[in-house]
Structure 1
Amino acid sequence: MSQMLQTDLIGITDVITRLPQFFNKVPNLLSGLKQAYIRTPNTPTGLALAFEKAVKRNPHGNALLFEDQRYSYQELNDWANQIAHYYLSLGVCKGDVIAVMIENRSELLATVIALAKIGATSALVNTSQTGKVLVHSVNLVKSVAIIAGEECRKAVDEIRNDLNIAEDRFFWFADQTTRQDVGTAPQGYINLAEKILQFPKFNVPTTHKVKGKDGLFYIYTSGTTGLPKAVIFTNSRWTLAYGTYGHILNLNEDDVMYCTLPLYHATGMVVCWCGVIAGGGTLALRRKFSTSAFWSDVQKFNASAIGYVGELCRYLMDAPVSDHDRAHRVTKMIGNGMRPNIWGKFKERFGIKEILELYASSEGNVGFSNIFNFDNTVGFSPTPYAIVEFDKENNEAIRDSNGDCIKVQKGGVGLLIGKITSRSPFDGYTDSDKNKSVIMKDVFKKGDSYFITGDLVRDIGFRHAQFVDRLGDTFRWKGENVSTTEVENIVSDYPKIAEAVVYGVEIPNTNGRAGMAAITLHNGDALNEQDLSNMVLDFKKHLPAYAIPVFLRVQKTVETTGTFKYQKNKLKEENFDPKKTSDRLMVLLPSASAYSDVNAEIYDNIEAYKYRF
């Protein structure tokens, strides 16, 4: 949301006009807020407890739909209980961490509920991870076991010997409807679907012993070290999301939430699902997003709500107009990253009445939600925060003569920071040094502490904000956070490349920032036609698709500051425009298998949105 219209500014009069539609949500919202805020770290709470309450309210209603599978709340609970009883029999207990690497399907949710009932923490591994990144993610959180879907087994097999997990703690789910056919486990794996059949379906007693301070998930986020960081998501934090986002969504037992977002990220696993559980509604899953199948799936599942990220919305807008566009009952959606240039058009084309845009991060302590249904905003925040003036050149907050940070004026852009309090704590990373680097002290008075989000936002009034940009060594592309350092390390491994500087550049009409690598070659080397395809093959082996650089820039030398930091700001400004540099520029066009040179024609076509990146 880099541009603002004057009409985006919000005042008390604007809020008053929205109150009639807001009042309909108040009873449900108050119920949620009571559950969210009337708790302590030692209060029994969390996903498992909330799910069991939903089972009591709606035992025979649909809890989960996936492909042709259907599970009622009671059936899904029975399944999770069998998994939980089995792991309790193995000695798994509260505080243990189990890595879970399963794509969006029924087995993933049953597993997560089961581990939550024990108080064990599910390490939600990104299913596209491979090699040393996967080794790091699993070992970082001291996993005592791993549960892998058949679809992810190859990646696990390749690094199995590097994992700090006992040989008899590798578990497996067949990639099929395992409640009907458990399948045959490969050598070296325990067939979890088969093992649990002999175990009881009644609720395990441990659910009521799980407290707010206990870990629920580890969610991985890109780190400046080049490897993912593991962020602890406690049961207390889940309950906060459940009580706010979950109840703001205002779903009921007749509602179906269609989610194609990866459940190893919080938007899908937490935001979308907690809204379903809060209303005793149905979660309809698809393994991976498909533009062509999206609205036909919505019809198939009779969905009334959808989860989104900005890129998903752009893909749907780019698709040809179809009879499916309005042949559904979806009126509300929840997610993040909706661009202002399509916000109104999206609502009009697809008949959407309510876009519950939100702002939150896996590790952060401040959240916004569009509860008043304004356009072009991440919404309103009840949590304590500030938007302060920021010096991008020096990468630091600006302070006045007294040493205090300076809040931006209404309409101004600044760094978003969240005040750390007992009600909005910072749960932190596994890396204590990283924790120190994201906390700012003595912000407005001696002794106060704020979490540094690393995001620039605009203050549009009445505690509403617009997202503007991300700072630091990550950028967002294809709905994923990309670590520049991780990509730099992989790109630099190519035999002819001596050094790489990676950053994100904007492509018109496209969400997020596309990866661009400014590279220097070893003395005497040059990139030939074979290199242009070999590089793509090499990058694909070591990087997920969203992290592969879209653009390359061949430099003679890398410019650095006096403290040897890369001069990324200048590179970002010159982006991939051949008129701004004499360096060789290359692009990996959609569906291409090799990089090609950016000439004036290709540049103009990119600017004219003739390619769909």
Structure 2
Amino acid sequence: MLERIRKIKEVARVFGEMRHLLPALNFKMPAHAETVSVAGAFEDTVADHTERIMLIFEGQEWTYSEFNDSANRFARVLQAQGVKRGDSVALLMENRAEFILSLLATLKVGASCALINNSLTGAGLVHCVQAAGANHIIVGDERTSVIDASREALALSDFGSYLWCSDSGTSTCPDWCVDLKAEMAGQSAENIPITREITAGEVAFYIYTSGTTGLPKAAIMLHRKALAASTVLGRLGFRVKPTDRLYLCLPVYHITGLGPGLLAFILSGGSVFLRRQFSASKFWSEVQQFKTNSFIYVGELCRYLNQQPEHPQEKNNPLEKMLGNGLRPDVWDAFKARFKVARICEIYGSSEGNVSFANFFNKDKTIGATFAKVALVAYDQENEEILRDDEGHCIEVAAGTPGLLLGEITTDYAFDGYTNKDATGKKVVQNVFKAGDQWFDTGDLIREIDVGFAFGIRHFQFVDRTGDTFRWRSENVSTNEVAEVLNQHPQIHLSNVYGVEVPGCEGKAGMVALAVESPDTFDVAGFSRLVDTELPAYARPVFIRLQCALETTGTFKLVKTELREQSFHLDQVGQDAIYVRPPKAESYQRLDDSFYQSLCSGTAGY
């Protein structure tokens, strides 16, 4: 009885907060009416928390008032160089204080900020800048050579188009750039009047898909969506208080680091400890040193921390709560138990999507619940198409069964799309349950799960991406589920599972790239036993590729495209060792030329 009373109080508390937030924040702001923006909301926070520490970075600290003053000076330099309301400004820089300064200054003058993955070069970089229609680029010292190599393709000829931010202080500004920090001297620190004229329906950011398959797409994020997502997730997910401190090592150019990370805290008066990139070996000492009680994560960071030897400062650490995405079930329990983290708020969503989930109620291994109207529909993974009934409508799956997640597109839950109209159209499903309705296709398989929670609140769990599921032996194989099993092997740091074509065979055979410390001493026999014990025959990988590290995107998503293309072909995999499990064999063996030729000729016997 006491436990039930506790649950009722918890539900009442959260729903009470929801009722307070939803009228303004549940994607319901008029598209082009209300004068509210990210920069305006930040200025409100500054007024309420003037002397509180906002940012800690590489030995320096800034209060809210100090940082706002610098952002205003920066914004006036942008205006002097021709940046105006409605423009798009590309930002290419590492995670550092000047990145946040550039972002806020751009928003203050009413321009949108195209947040470019700082690892991009060449054609990919040019594509992202042009996809956002950017006519100015703010570039960090550390990425100057990358921009310089692409200047001809970018075709931004005006001197003021390239705006440069020094880093270490030892480099000099190129003669084709404007030195932003130098130009800030003497500028007024007063707020920019135009900031308070920006409306909720104007574009705040262009956020890019990770580009695991093909060139990234630029997703449009309006001010209303940025504010809604960051504030709801900040208050209900992170439960941010001004006394909280965030450990932020995710790239801020990505939506997770930006929205529920940076924006959630600086719009609530909290403090942010910013790091250029993640370091598993330094994580706990920095958590202790800077007293960060909050952590914004992606699942692979948690896996890396789990794999580290015990660190003396992981004991009695101040970390109380985490929010992020991609924490797999095989990592969840071990992480929570080892590091004594009380609250893990797993979220689900995308930069462009109109639906998001959050584990507000702190239930294990779930992406939680959603405010939006969603449907899980039957999906043919072999032919990669949605199944429909005799009337042409989609078919909802039963609870517990994975289905393709669709989010209904309405005025309240709009799909703002990409800058590319064709790409936008491909994500909209028509006539789902009735003529004329429109739903956003997430491309993900989700299932409804029972977490022992009443009150009619549906909870869900991520299963897989549709492109990450393949068919073998007339069965569907989930790459995520197979990877979770393989990651149990003590020598494996990380598994990247994918399907590859084998001549003469229907479907795709399972192949896995394994990140192992020493490929030469990998326990192949032990791996074979694990596979046989934990996986059904159709889900057991046919091929193994041993690597010292796996390639990931800037947001730690595993890259599969090149691995699929190279497959098991000995002339394409470089020095990586390839193992194969021949039909009826009890263990894997090194792939030699003789068996390789039988694979290519379709005579290997699969």
What is the TM-score when the length of structure 1 is the normalising length? 0.78
The answer on 1:62 being equivalent to 2:53 is yes
Partner of 1:319: 308
Paired position in structure 1 for 2:359: 370
- Flag the 1:140–1:591 CA change in 2: closer, same or farther, 3 A: closer
Matched with 1:426 is 415
Instruction: Read off the aligned partner of 1:141 and give its amino acid letter.
Output: A
Deviations along 1:99-122, one digit per CA (max 9) or x if unpaired, are 100111000001111111112111
Q: 2:547 aligns with which of 588, 592, 604?
A: 588
Q: CA deviation at 1:558?
A: 9.6
3-state SS of paired residue (2:129): helix
Asked whether the 8 Å contact 2:39–2:108 carries over to 1, the reply is yes
SS in 2 for 1:212: coil
Question: Could you give the per-residue CA deviations for residues 63-113 of structure 1, whole angstroms, max 9, x where no partner exists?
Answer: 111110111111111111111112223332222111100111000001111
2:326 corresponds to 1:346: no
Task: Say which is worse superposed, 369-378 or 589-598, in terms of deviation.
Answer: 589-598
C-alpha distance 257-511 of structure 1, shift in aligned 2 (>3 A): farther
Counterpart of 1:100, as a letter, is L
The reply to whether residue 171 of structure 1 matches residue 171 of structure 2 is: no
1:218 paired to 2:156: no
Instruction: Choose the corresponding residue for 1:265, options 233, 250, 254.
Output: 254
Residue 489 of structure 1 corresponds to which residue in structure 2?
none
Please, which of 21, 25, 29 is the counterpart of residue 39 of structure 1?
29
- CA RMSD, aligned part only? 3.2
Q: Between 304-313 and 147-156, report the one with greater CA deviation.
A: 147-156
SS of the equivalent of 1:279 reads: coil
Deviation digits for residues 157-193 of structure 1 (CA, Å, limit 9, x no counterpart): 22121113124111111113xxxx6963123221111
The answer as to 2:454 corresponding to 1:464 is no
CA gap of 1:237–1:182, structure 2 versus 1, over 3 A, is farther
Cα distance, 1:275 vs structure 2: 2.2
Residue 435 (structure 2) aligns with: 446
| Counterpart residue number, 1:535 | none
Structure 2 residue 197 is matched with structure 1 residue 202: no
Q: Secondary structure at the match of 2:419?
A: coil
Q: CA deviation at 1:373?
A: 0.7
For 2:258 and 2:3, locate their aligned partners in 1 and report how far apart those are by CA, in whole Å: 33
Shift in alpha-carbon separation, 1:277–1:599, aligned structure 2, 3 A: same
Paired with 2:373 and 2:14, the residues of 1 have a C-alpha distance of 23
Q: Tell me if the contact between 2:498 and 2:511 (Cα under 8 Å) persists in the aligned partners.
A: no
**Which amino acid is 2:90 matched to?**
A
Q: Map of 1:65-214 to 2, 5 A cutoff?
A: 65-168=56-159, 169-176=161-168, 184-214=172-202
Q: Is the 8 A contact 2:54 2:62 kept in 1?
A: yes
1:113-132 CA distance string (max 9 Å, x none): 11111121111000011111
CA contact (8 A) 2:513 2:546 kept: no
Question: Partners in 1 of 2:458 and 2:4 — Cα distance?
Answer: 11
- The corresponding residue for 2:278 is 289
How far the C-alpha of 1:283 sits from its partner, in A, is: 1.1
1:196-246 Cα shifts (integer Å, max 9, x gaps): 222111100111111111111111114587211111111011111133102
Contact 2:75/2:105, CA 8 A, preserved across alignment: yes
Contact 1:233 1:427 in 2 (8 A): yes
User: 2:185 is paired with a residue of what secondary structure?
Assistant: helix
Separation of aligned partners in 2, 1:599 and 1:443: 45
Do 1:442 and 1:448's aligned partners in 2 also have CA atoms closer than 8 Å?
Answer: yes
The alpha carbon displacement at 1:574 in A equals 8.4
Measured in 1, the distance between the counterparts of 2:580 and 2:123 equals 39
| Cα distance between partner residues in 2 of 1:155 and 1:117 | 27
2:559 — aligned with what? none
Task: Describe the SS at the equivalent of 1:394.
Answer: coil
| Cα shift at 1:257 | 0.6
Could you say if the C-alpha distance between residues 605 and 58 of structure 1 is closer, same or farther in structure 2, counting changes exceeding 3 Å?
A: farther
Query: Which whole-Å deviations, capped at 9, do the CAs of 1:503-528 have from their partners, x for residues lacking one?
Result: 9984722898627696xxxxxxxxxx
Per-residue deviation, residues 371-418 of structure 1 (Å, max 9, x unmatched): 111111001101111111111112112212222212111111100011
Write the deviation string for residues 530-584 of structure 1: whole angstroms up to 9, x where unpaired: xxxxxxxxxxxxxxxxxxxxxxx9x7x698xxxxxxx8x5134788999999998
Distance 1:26 1:583 in 2: 49
| 1:400-411 equivalences in 2 (<5 Å) | 400-411=389-400
With over 3 angstroms needed to count, the CA separation of the structure-2 counterparts of 1:167 and 1:278, relative to structure 1, is closer
- Secondary structure in structure 2 of the residue aligned to 1:258: strand
Residue 377 of structure 2 contacts residue 404 of structure 2 at CA under 8 Å; is this kept in 1?
yes
| Aligned residue number for residue 570 of structure 1 | 508
> 2: distance between equivalents of 1:595 and 1:421?
52
What is the alpha-carbon distance in structure 1 between the residues aligned to residue 148 and residue 497 of structure 2? 30
Amino acid at match of 1:472: G
Distance 1:95 1:16, change over 3 A: farther
Judged with a 3 Å threshold, the aligned counterparts in structure 2 of structure 1 residues 332 and 396 are, in CA distance, closer, same or farther, namely same
For residues 264 and 388 of structure 1, the distance between their equivalents in structure 2, rounded to whole angstroms, comes to 32
SS in structure 2 of the partner of residue 472 of structure 1? helix
SS at match of 2:302: helix
Match of 1:595, as an amino acid? Q
Counterpart amino acid of residue 590 in structure 1? A
* CA spacing shift, 1:197–1:105, aligned 2, 3 Å: same
Asked if the contact 1:224–1:474 (Cα under 8 Å) also holds between the matched residues in 2, the reply is no
The AA in structure 1 aligned to 2:285 is S
In structure 1, the partner of 2:215 is 227
The equivalent of 1:435 in structure 2 is 424
CA contact (8 A) 1:250 1:279 kept: no
Gaps of 5+ in 2: 451-456, 471-478, 515-523, 529-537, 552-572, 582-586, 591-606
Q: Percent identity?
A: 36
Distance (whole Å) between structure 2 residues aligned to residue 102 and residue 212 of structure 1 = 27
Q: 2 CA distance for matches of 1:512 and 1:44?
A: 47
Whether the aligned pair in 2 keeps the contact of 1:32 and 1:242 (CA below 8 Å) is no
CA contact (8 A) 2:495 2:512 kept: no
Aligned in 2, Cα 1:605/1:260: closer, same or farther, shift over 3 Å?
farther
| 1:395 matches 2:384 | yes
Cα–Cα, structure 1 residues 379 and 16, in superposed 2: closer, same or farther, change >3 Å?
farther
8 A contact 2:208–2:216 mirrored in 1: yes
Alignment CA distance shift 1:218-1:515 (3 Å): farther
**Which residue is 1:241 aligned to?**
229
Task: Choose between structure 1 and 2 for higher RCO, CA contacts under 8 A separated by at least 6 residues.
Answer: 1
Mean alpha-carbon deviation: is it higher for 195-204 or for 85-94?
85-94
CA distance in 2 between partners of 1:582 and 1:257 (Å): 40
Q: Which runs of 5+ in 1 are unaligned?
A: 1-12, 476-502, 519-552, 560-566, 607-613
Partner of 2:496: 514
Does the CA-based 8 Å contact 1:35-1:239 persist in structure 2? no
For residue 325 of structure 1, report the CA deviation from its aligned partner.
1.3
Distance 1:15-1:455 versus aligned 2 partners, 3 A rule: farther
Task: Give SS of 1:346's match.
Answer: helix
Contact residue 241 and residue 268 of structure 2 kept, 8 A: yes
